[in-house]
A and B are shown apart, each in its own frame.
Chain A
């Protein structure tokens, strides 16, 4: 009799425990891609749609992927810091959904680019200028729940509007991410809107803080609707949507939520560009360098390691 058979048969769950050293079979779907994106994984190697420049498509996948990745990174700072356990679960879940979207989009970027880069090469080995995310994603909310909710409301309203329009994208991976993402972002937006109401129309203090949270996020709103050259070309190929076209929907949703929450739409100047360039062109705020320094530290410390 081998030592680990001593207690066999007493309890089912301990048997699962005992079988550890005997099997490494990954029968649970959560093993494969981590977040239930297996259905999309199969499509990552689909051909580039006709009439589409692969470089543009790779760049666009990085834009959508980096928005999700960097914002997910910021949101996960809330783990073990949320005001209530329900919020722990909801914010971590939102970060996980976005991370899942990022992984598929960055994998697709790597495939389309054709230079053998996988999701991790994009996340861990690019420098700041290689990232294509919008500035809103990379800011630190300094664990202020009002800022957290303001950003989530803005980001999810905008991204949901984009993903709705991307359901019919000529790129099958983007269309698939949109398909799953619309359900996820609908929940994120609803969650943020419900909290905006509670904070806006809660106590005097929460009203003041929520209004300040909005003022904090608002300078980064204008960038969301600026159209990059890659996007302009990809709109014609039926792959991308023009973000400028989502402004009306965004404004309408925000107006409705803010009014109900007794909050005012901020009147603040947007952050400027450098020669017309911003996040989509790899020009970032000072914050991104810090995000990357932390996110990439272990991966870069161990070149050639497998995790």
Chain B
């Protein structure tokens, strides 16, 4: 590196830092540190993969939805998730990677997706509970990302958050209908909440002390709150909603702390969390195998589309 290169490199870095410090947006054409780019690619890809893998657990119930209205709502929701995946892969592509390459990393388990989708959906109540708790936790995580320093990611999140809050309301509304239905339906909701509560709390990631990347992400305005702050916010929001539903959250340590003006709550089982994120959750292998099968079964279709486009382009060329 020559002396001039080094000086201009410093100038770029200063400009980048000034943009971050002023809480303004970095755009694709702006200079950015390599580590910032890498962090964003990893986070956005992981987020995109989560949207796509997340279609599986709920898609599991589309064919069996117990009313046509519920079927339409669920089908529309799962379709929205495919759309979210598309926006997010497109945001990642502004950083110089492409969808195909990221999908390969997903099916080779070289990139992660949200731990929550490694749990099975066992009853129709799970559709409602996922909407309420999982889309709910996603909203808590994602609303601050609407102010993320990277422009394309922030803009994708604005669009996605609107739809997520709709999913959350629909999930909650299904649960309201169920708890007001037969005693069996109410019991189904409680049983589902018992299974999903702790995995939902784990969606915010490890405790702050065990989250090495948080500080750097916060310094870059990619992240705005720590995992524990977001988890606390989620618990505080969810408790009154659970009360309104008449379901019990399965945590004997959960209580209002008037001194802190927040709820105290128990510790998730972090050994289960570690197992799930390292591939040993209840459905990890199934989810990845499903995604791989769909991708590989579609290879000949994508190839045909490319071949056809090439032929058409060649024809146009000839015509000129």
* Residues of chain A lying within 8 A (CB to CB) of residue B291: 80
Is the CB of B270 closer than 8 A to any CB of chain A?
A: no
Q: Is the interface of A mostly helix, strand, loop or mixed?
A: helix
What's the minimum C-beta distance from B70 to chain A, rounded to whole angstroms?
5
A21 touches B82 (CB 8 A): no
Which one of A100, A295, A306 lies within 8 Å of B72 (CB-CB)?
Answer: A100
Tell me how many residues of B have a C-beta within 8 Å of chain A: 80
Is the CB of A117 closer than 8 A to any CB of chain B?
A: no
Is the CB of A42 closer than 8 A to any CB of chain B?
A: no
Which one of B124, B174, B239 lies within 8 Å of A4 (CB-CB)?
Answer: B239
* Residues of chain B lying within 8 A (CB to CB) of residue A33: 69
* Residues of chain B lying within 8 A (CB to CB) of residue A143: 297
Residues facing B in A253-300 (CB within 8 A) are 294-295, 297-299
Is the CB of B10 closer than 8 A to any CB of chain A?
A: no
A206 touches B68 (CB 8 A): no
- Given A85-B82, A206-B300, A197:B233 Cβ within 8 A: no
A305 touches B294 (CB 8 A): no
Residues facing A in B109-139 (CB within 8 A) are 124, 136, 139
- Given A11-B144, A295-B63, A305-B185, A76:B304 Cβ within 8 A: no
Interface centre among B67, B76, B233, B307 (most CB of A within 10 A): B67
- Given A17-B136, A21-B240, A85-B52, A103:B298 Cβ within 8 A: no
- Given A20-B169, A305-B182, A305-B184, A81:B297 Cβ within 8 A: yes
* Residues of chain A lying within 8 A (CB to CB) of residue B241: 4, 20-21
Q: How far is the CA of A103 from the CA of B256 in the complex (A)?
A: 46
A7 touches B308 (CB 8 A): no
Interface residues on A, range: 35 or more
What's the minimum C-beta distance from B154 to chain A, rounded to whole angstroms?
13
Residue of A nearest to B176 (CB): A24
- Given A14-B237, A197-B308, A88:B298 Cβ within 8 A: no
Is the CB of B9 closer than 8 A to any CB of chain A?
A: no
Taken residue by residue from 199 to 236, chain A's Cβ proximity to chain B (1 for < 8 Å, 0 otherwise) reads as 10111011001000000000000000000000000000
Which one of B124, B243, B299, B308 lies within 8 Å of A298 (CB-CB)?
Answer: B124
* Residues of chain B lying within 8 A (CB to CB) of residue A21: 240-241, 243-245
A298 touches B64 (CB 8 A): yes
* Residues of chain B lying within 8 A (CB to CB) of residue A126: none
Residues facing A in B285-306 (CB within 8 A) are 290-291, 293-294, 297-305
Is the CB of A116 closer than 8 A to any CB of chain B?
A: no
Is the CB of B73 closer than 8 A to any CB of chain A?
A: yes
Q: How far is the CA of A120 from the CA of B297 in the complex (A)?
A: 35
* Residues of chain B lying within 8 A (CB to CB) of residue A81: 293-294, 297
What's the minimum C-beta distance from A265 to chain B, rounded to whole angstroms?
20
Residues facing B in A97-154 (CB within 8 A) are 99-100, 102-103, 106, 119-120, 123-124, 143, 145
Among B35-43, B54-62, B213-221, B272-280, the stretch that binds chain A is B54-62
Q: What are the 7 closest A-B residue pairs judged by CB atoms, nearest first?
A: A83-B298, A202-B304, A206-B304, A34-B72, A92-B79, A83-B301, A21-B244
Given contacts A21-B245, A24-B173, A307-B174, 17 further A-B contacts (CB under 8 A): A4-B241, A7-B237, A13-B139, A14-B139, A31-B173, A69-B68, A77-B63, A79-B79, A85-B89, A99-B75, A197-B308, A202-B305, A206-B304, A299-B66, A302-B184, A307-B70, A307-B177
Residues of A within 8 A of B (CB): 1-4, 6-7, 11, 13-14, 16-18, 20-21, 24, 26, 28, 30-31, 33-35, 69, 73, 76-77, 79-89, 92-93, 95-96, 99-100, 102-103, 106, 119-120, 123-124, 143, 145, 197-199, 201-203, 205-206, 209, 294-295, 297-299, 302, 304-307
Could you show 10 A-B contacts with beta carbons less than 8 Å apart?
Answer: A1-B261, A11-B143, A13-B139, A14-B143, A17-B139, A20-B241, A35-B72, A89-B86, A145-B301, A307-B178
